[in-house]
Amino acid sequence: MEIANTEWMSWWSDADWIVRGVFIVLITLSVISWTITIYKAWQLSAAHKGEKVFLGRGQPVAGLPSAHVMTGLHGIEKSERENMAGALLRESRLFYEGGLTLLATIGNTAPFIGLFGTVWGIMHALQGLNGADALSMDLVAGPVAEALVATAAGLFTAIPAVVGYNLLLRKLRRLFGTAEGNTIRILSQPASTQKSEA
Amino acid sequence: MGPHSRAGVRSLLTTKTMRGLHLSIWKTLSAWSVALALASSAHAALVWGVMHFAQGDEKPPRPLSGFEIVELPASMAAAEPKAEPELEPEAELEPEPEPEPENTEPVVESKPKSEPKPIMIPVAKLKIKPKPKPKPEPKPVTVAKEKVKPKPKLEKKAPPLAINKPIFKGTQNLAATTAYVPPSRHAAYLKNPKPVYPTKARKRGMEGRVVLRVMVRRDGKVKSVKVETGSGFTLLDRAAKAAVLRWRFAPAKRSGMAVEGTVLVPFDFRLTSG
């Protein structure tokens, strides 16, 4: 453990601040993307479960798209109800989409950030060697391997973000498929039976 | 019209209150923090795992602990400024015993201990090879001793040192009284620290021989340092230069008078598997 530790530390102390900054940024982005994925997965799953339980009967659990639709439809004239329901559903969708854009951005940009760190590191490594008249593979390979850590970190950040984004997108579609069905169920009910409170 | 605008306001309001509706703020916050904690701990576990595995199958590619910087005998590099011949690689090997009276080696050996600079001490132990006294060719020994890789480079670099020999021969022939005595770095009162072996250079396995041409003023201070023969690595050249710039020399003497003089100072940077 100690050996590995010192080695990691030595890699760290070898890098300049640009490379270190890239590394820190990537780790932070990775933590953020994982947090978003975990939270949204839980949120969307819970909402989907609530929608499936509701199915147009009784009162939806607070916060569900159907609850938003139901609350918003209260007191709306019959001719406007359909339009209003669509708008409310879209609003609710916007709310549930929150965070997905950030996740997609992280997934797209993290590889480039990592690449930037690597290019920078290699540039510096080669500048350090400029005096050598005979470059052995060994001398070039070491610094390049060190610089590639940044690219690895970029991919390490990007892959889970992309996977998480696709997963959440799928969950979102499922949730709103059910929610749209529930909205139609709400609309088909006679207005008098609806209660305003959610 | 009326219902429209009323509906718009209402939906806006409900959107705004939606977060509140969805779950209580505290529940949302705690859900976020649970997610954050999960993500962070997953990362921490991953980093730990990588470090653990890195220890398992990867050992340091370079012997970082062992290294030495050997000052080669000054005799190899004494030069009178006037009679400076160009360095051509014709006079390769002339095994000639060199009497070198002023080379008091023990002084050199005690140097690192009295060295005031803190940088050298912590990194690794500095092994000082007992200098081969007046042995004219320390080369085969050193080459054989190195087990680390960049061999070809080193051997390519070897010739330039041998070149210095003819210079010495020239000075040797002068009569003792009018003799030009080159600047010396071996007087007992001079505490000249060795160069620091840069950590980066050690990690990357940079080895080589640096020969510096040092102009010494009459008061023994260094006027200028030039790299006579580079090691091939800017790092090593710079380290050697930085060290020698702080050195004090016994000034060169001509007929007992201190004069400006030039001296060649060679260093061997080499890694050992210590």
Q: How does pLDDT run along chain B (274 residues), one tens digit per residue?
A: 444 445 554 544 444 444 434 556 777 888 889 999 999 999 999 888 877 776 544 444 444 455 666 666 654 444 444 443 444 444 444 444 444 444 444 443 444 444 444 444 443 444 444 444 444 444 444 444 444 444 444 444 444 444 444 444 444 444 555 677 777 777 666 777 788 787 777 777 778 888 888 888 888 888 888 888 888 788 888 888 888 888 888 888 888 788 888 888 888 888 876 5
B124-130: long-range contacts (C-beta < 8 A, 24 or more apart)? Answer: B124/B64, B124/B65, B124/B66, B124/B67, B124/B274, B125/B65, B125/B274, B126/B67, B126/B68, B126/B69, B126/B194, B127/B66, B127/B67, B127/B68, B127/B272, B127/B274, B128/B68, B128/B70, B129/B68, B129/B70, B130/B105
Q: How far apart are CA B210 and CA B232, in angstroms?
A: 8
If one counts every other C-beta atom within 10 angstroms of the C-beta of residue A37, the result is 23
pLDDT score recorded for residue A73: 84
**Cβ–Cβ contact A91 with B under 8 A:** yes
Gyration radius from chain B CA atoms: 32
Which tokens in the block code for residue A70? 């139901």
Contacts of residue B147, Cβ cutoff 8 Å, sequence gap at least 6: B272, B273
Contacts of residue B21, Cβ cutoff 8 Å, sequence gap at least 6: A62, A63, A67, A68, A71, A198, B14
Question: Is this complex's ipTM strictly greater than 0.90?
Answer: no
pLDDT score recorded for residue A173: 94
Query: Where would I find the H helices in chain B?
Result: 2-16, 18-22, 25-57, 105-114, 120-123, 139-145, 151-157, 159-172, 199-203, 234-245
Q: A71 and B14 in contact by Cβ < 8 A?
A: yes
How buried is A64 (Cβ within 10 angstroms: 0-12 exposed, 13-18 middle, 19+ buried)?
buried
Beta strands B78-79; B257-259: pairing state: unpaired
**Cβ–Cβ contact B127 with A under 8 A:** no
Contacts of residue A164, Cβ cutoff 8 Å, sequence gap at least 6: A33, A34, A36, A37, A41, A103, A107
A contacts of B235 (beta carbons < 8 Å): 128, 131
User: What b/e string do you get for B142-179 counting C-beta neighbours within 10 Å, with b at 16 or more?
Assistant: beeebebbbeebbeebeebbbbbbebbebbeeeeeeeb
* Partner-chain residue, chosen from A91, A92, A143, that has the shortest CB–CB distance to B204: A143
Q: Is the pLDDT of residue A119 over 60?
A: yes
Contacts of residue A191, Cβ cutoff 8 Å, sequence gap at least 6: A78, A81
A contacts of B158 (beta carbons < 8 Å): none
A contacts of B61 (beta carbons < 8 Å): 142
Q: Residues A132-167: pLDDT tens digits?
A: 555 666 666 767 777 888 899 999 999 999 999 999
Residue B197 · residue B67 · CB < 8 Å: yes
Q: Is the pLDDT of residue A63 over 60?
A: yes
Q: DSSP secondary-structure letter at B204?
A: T
Beta strands B261-272; B208-216: pairing state: antiparallel
Residue A22, SS3 per DSSP = helix
A contacts of B153 (beta carbons < 8 Å): 134, 136
| Residue B264 amino acid letter | L
Average pLDDT, chain A: 82
Q: How far apart are CA B164 and CA B212, in angstroms?
A: 12
If one counts every other C-beta atom within 10 angstroms of the C-beta of residue A88, the result is 25
Q: Is the pLDDT of residue A97 over 80?
A: yes
Q: B11 and A3 in contact by Cβ < 8 A?
A: no
Q: How far apart are CA B97 and CA B109, in angstroms?
A: 23
**Cβ–Cβ contact A5 with B under 8 A:** yes
Q: Closest-CA residue in chain B for A88?
A: B11
Which tokens in the block code for residue A175? 């949730």
Residue B253 · residue B218 · CB < 8 Å: no
**Cβ–Cβ contact A3 with B under 8 A:** yes
* Partner-chain residue, chosen from B7, B34, B230, that has the shortest CB–CB distance to A131: B230
Question: What phi, psi does A77 have (nearest 5°)?
Answer: -65, 155
Answer with the residue of higher pLDDT: A74 or B81: A74
Q: Residues A14-28: pLDDT tens digits?
A: 667 888 889 899 999
Residue A122 · residue A158 · CB < 8 Å: no
Answer with the residue of higher pLDDT: B270 or A48: A48
pLDDT score recorded for residue A149: 84
Which tokens in the block code for residue B196? 């620091």
Task: Among A11, A19, A43, pick the best mutation site for testing chain B contact (most B Cβ within 10 A).
Answer: A43
Q: B205 and A1 in contact by Cβ < 8 A?
A: no
- Nearest alpha-carbon partner for B91 in B158, B166, B157: B166
User: Residues 152 to 191 of A: which have CB under 8 A from any B CB?
Assistant: none
Q: Is the CA virtual torsion B50, B55, B57, B63 positive or negative?
A: positive
Q: Is the pLDDT of residue A36 over 90?
A: yes
The angle that helices A65-73 and B2-16 make with each other, rounded to 10 degrees, is 150
Q: How far apart are CA B247 and CA B241, in angstroms?
A: 10
